[in-house]
Amino acid sequence: MPMSLEEYQIAQMYMVMKMQQQSTSSTEGVEVLENRPLEDDVFGKCQYTSKVYRLQSKAPTWLTTFAPADALIMQEEAWNAYPRCKTVIKCPYFTKFSLTVETIHRADNGQSENVHGLTKEQLAVRQVEYIDIASAETDYWSYAIGSNSMDFSNFKSVRTGRGPLLDGWQDRCKPVMTAYKLVTVDAPYWGFGYRLEQALLAGERALFLESHRNCFGWIDDWFGMTMQQIRELELQSDFSLNKYMKSKKAVFPDFYKAYSHLRMKNWVVRPGSQYGVDFVAYRHHPSLVHSEYAVLVLSEEDADVNGRLGVWSDFHCTIRLCGSVAKTLLVLSINKNGHGAISPSCLEDTPLKSTQSLDGVRNKVVRIRQPLKKNQETQPRFPRGIMFLWVGQVD
């Protein structure tokens, strides 16, 4: 990359934010579940992110012949301790699949050997591939991910004077840096595992090329920005999106918090309107199992906004419906602590009131399933089969 390590950190953050905006639609794109500072045992101080990638339309034809269209819904966890980063990608449908990307950034022209400190055995099976941002690909994955049509052999940055990138530019350009990425993929499936591995490796290569071409192609947009300005841009994007979503659905922040909370607990979440609830939660991919929970989202401050469970008969009707389809009703109660939900990022920092564990959901949970014991004093109780979950409050 024709930039310094410090410049690349800004360029990468700008690129990720802009590409997410461009690729997100009503049905596909990137969902950011978590984005927060973290003190990690391995990486030390880092930025942790958790995302969901919906790539249904980009699935190869051969994959859709035996897997559902949403098989390319990916879950990503990333630890950014720049200049060292690690990303782990998993797929709810292919439960044994995993793809790990370990990245080390160095201020050189790509000639460093074994920057990841691999053993002799690992080096023997390692395949090295150089990706030149001045090149352009025309394969399937480049088309599916999107292609920056900019010709860097004729490109020159107005603000920095860098470019054009001609043959051998890596040896002549200053500053220059390289992202060394160690990609490990494992898809232990008989019959198609190797083909799946190769397809995803090709997809990752196309994504690396496209994203880094954008880093340089957008240099006049981000050059000179500080980390604080980048964070402010992310907040502006967050506020704009939230304002639009709230204009469509007033309780969107509450629903976002409930959805992201379940996703962070590794539940697969789908709309629940056909069962008269807000969401349904699956332990694994919906094509493999039935949903276990029917989820209702309530706001403690705005009890009338949702218009749900307002009277006792609402409980009975909902419980009866959930029982008929073998689901447990899960009620998520959102407490904004009187501050309101300015944006979804405001809700991301919501603390949880307790960490009591129950069936994979870690929170304060009350489940009522046992009938009254004989001679036990009769008192008002919640119907059987209902679970209450207090998600927390916003400080």
Distance CA 262, CA 293 (A): 11
Distance CA 381, CA 394 (A): 29
User: One of 116, 290, 316, 339 is an active-site residue; which one?
Assistant: 290
User: One of 51, 86, 257, 327 is an active-site residue; which one?
Assistant: 327
CB–CB of 189/113 below 8 Å?
Answer: no
- Does residue 282 have an active-site annotation? yes
Distance CA 176, CA 133 (A): 12
Task: Give the residue among 49, 116, 60, 123 at the shortest CA–CA distance from 88.
Answer: 49
Distance CA 16, CA 156 (A): 22
Q: Is the dihedral of CA 266, 268, 271, 275 positive or negative?
A: negative
CB–CB of 204/212 below 8 Å?
Answer: no
**Torsion region of 338: left, alpha or beta (phi above 0 gives left; psi -120 to 50 gives alpha):** left
User: One of 282, 285, 293, 336 is an active-site residue; which one?
Assistant: 282
Active site residues: 282, 290, 327
